[in-house]
Amino acid sequence: MKEILKKWGLLSVFLLLTLTIITGCGTQGKNDESNIEKENAQEEVVNNNESQFPITITDGANREVTIDDEPETIVSIQTSNTEISFALGLGDKIVGVSDYDNYPPEALEKEKVGAQDINAELVLSLLPDLALVTDYHYNTHPDLLKQFEEAGIDVVVVGDATSFEDVYHNIEMIAKATGTDEEAQKIITDMQQRHEAIKEKAAEMITDKKKVWVEVSPAPDIFTTGTNTFMHEMLESINATNAAEAHEGWVKLTEEEIVQLNPDVIITTYGYYIDNPRDQVLSREGWNEVPAVKNEQVFDVDSDTVTRPGPRLIEGVEAIAEFVYPEVFN
């Protein structure tokens, strides 16, 4: 009997050892599989972060532009393009901006390289990898842009924008040219969500539309924005009527014509260079019976947020909404 028990005892130990080895092997196998999965995941992250250059984009002049390497230095000769570039996180790469760049504050510290007329000598001395220019530059200074390209500068024409969709397109194009696609999508998504929230709130809560007159320059030469402009789209977004909707683009109207439009609210955009624009409008002779003047519904907004096609346009919509319908948006 003892012999039998010994045999069973030895057999039990053998089975236990065997089971331990098998279990250990199984655990090791799982660990190996886990390690392989981690390595694959790390490789995938590395692959996703790999430079997508060289890339070819179609710019605002409908040209195919090939950029071989991710730009390390950039010149932006337009205020809106500079704002977009900074928003994309490219501030440290920007070595030159237009004479009129004022936002963000860091842009004021950059080298000024001209505006409609480019300081070609200065740009060539900076020798940026990328130059962001406009339709105007492309149409009026083609030889100059060719000179940049011959010097090894990639030139991208950023087209005019008259709508939010145009702005989104330009943000995406600049992002693609600079390898900042992820940042672009964050900016665009934020703008779209905030814009949509305003539209939904306005559609739901505003039944009595107000007529809004927008002044982009003061008397005596008063200009306004009709259809196919940011301001018109903004007014539509907040469920207001553009007093100049019968006109297209930027147009000049006489005071007599404006008074006849009888706006409920007047928005000025030139407070940055005219003192007290509100008081000037309220004191105009012959405007006493205009509802906006009679009820003192005259407000000034930051011009750059309503006329500059960049990320801050959404701030312009929000500001106008609060002025026109304070009971809804304040």
pLDDT digits (tens, 9 = 90+) for 115-166: 999 999 999 999 999 999 999 999 999 999 999 999 999 999 999 999 999 9
Residue 43 has pLDDT above 80, yes or no: no
Residue 13 has pLDDT above 70, yes or no: no
CA distance 255 to 25: 90
- Percent of residues, the chain, with pLDDT higher than 70: 85
Mean pLDDT of the chain: 88
> What backbone torsions phi and psi does residue 157 show, to the nearest 5 degrees?
-90, 120
Superfamily grouping for domain 206-324: Nitrogenase molybdenum iron protein domain (3.40.50.1980)
Q: How much is the pLDDT for 2?
A: 34
Superfamily grouping for domain 55-186: Nitrogenase molybdenum iron protein domain (3.40.50.1980)
> Domain limits of the chain?
55-186, 206-324
Residue 7 has pLDDT above 50, yes or no: no
Q: How much is the pLDDT for 52?
A: 86
Q: Which residue, 239, 293, 302, is CA-closest to 269?
A: 302
**Cα angle at 33 between 27 and 35, to 5 degrees?**
105
Q: How much is the pLDDT for 26?
A: 45
Residue of higher predicted confidence among 20 and 68: 68
Q: How much is the pLDDT for 284?
A: 96
Q: How much is the pLDDT for 51?
A: 61
Compute CA 330 distance to the chain's CA centroid, rounded to the nearest angstrom.
Answer: 24
pLDDT digits (tens, 9 = 90+) for 72-89: 999 999 999 999 999 999
Q: How much is the pLDDT for 259?
A: 97
Average the pLDDT over 288-294 and give the result.
97
Least confident of 34-48, 97-111, 223-237, 238-252: 34-48
Q: How much is the pLDDT for 70?
A: 97
Per-residue CA distances from 182 to 154, 161, 200, 288 (Å): 22, 22, 27, 52
Tokens 């600049």, located at residue: 174
Where does the pLDDT of residue 296 fall: very low under 50, low under 70, confident under 90, or very high at 90 and above? very high
> Count of alpha carbons within 13 Å of 16, Cβ hemisphere only?
6
> What backbone torsions phi and psi does residue 268 show, to the nearest 5 degrees?
-105, 155
> Count of alpha carbons within 13 Å of 172, Cβ hemisphere only?
11
- Asked if the domains 55-186 and 206-324 are classified in one and the same CATH topology, the answer is yes
Stated length of the chain: 330
